[in-house]
């Protein structure tokens, strides 16, 4: 199975999952929500896909990197259960 066929097959296994949508909402709204509190968040990254080293799609999971104002790094994972 070539790489494109494998990506398409893996994607079919995860039809109608909203991980992208939910991850993008979190990444977009977290900084705004933090302004209501004490402004503890320094940076919110863009959602990243779950890919292997060669860029092959592994799952619908999305990860968002977050850094607080003290430099601690966090990872938020959006995963369909």
pLDDT tens per residue across span 10-68: 655 555 568 888 898 899 999 888 887 778 999 999 999 999 999 998 998 999 999 99
Distances (CA, A) of 28 to 24, 62, 66: 6, 14, 12
Query: Domain range spanning residue 40?
Result: 3-78
Tokens at residue 54, please?
Answer: 């060669």
> Are the CB atoms for 30 and 40 separated by under 8 Å?
no
Backbone phi and psi for residue 2, each to the nearest 5 degrees, phi listed first:
-75, 170
Give the chain's domain count. 1
Per-residue confidence (pLDDT) for residue 26, from 0 to 100: 92
Q: Give the phi and the psi of residue 55 in degrees, each rounded to 5.
A: 85, 15
């Amino acid at each position: 199975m070539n790489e494109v066929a494998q990506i398409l097959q893996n994607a079919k296994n995860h039809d109608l999952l909203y991980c992208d949508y939910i991850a993008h909402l979190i990444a977009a709204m977290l900084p705004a929500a933090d302004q209501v509190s004490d402004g503890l968040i320094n940076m919110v990254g863009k959602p990243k896909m779950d890919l292997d080293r060669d860029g092959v799609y592994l799952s619908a999971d999305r990860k968002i990197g977050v850094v607080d104002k003290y430099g601690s790094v966090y990872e938020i994972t959006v995963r369909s259960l």
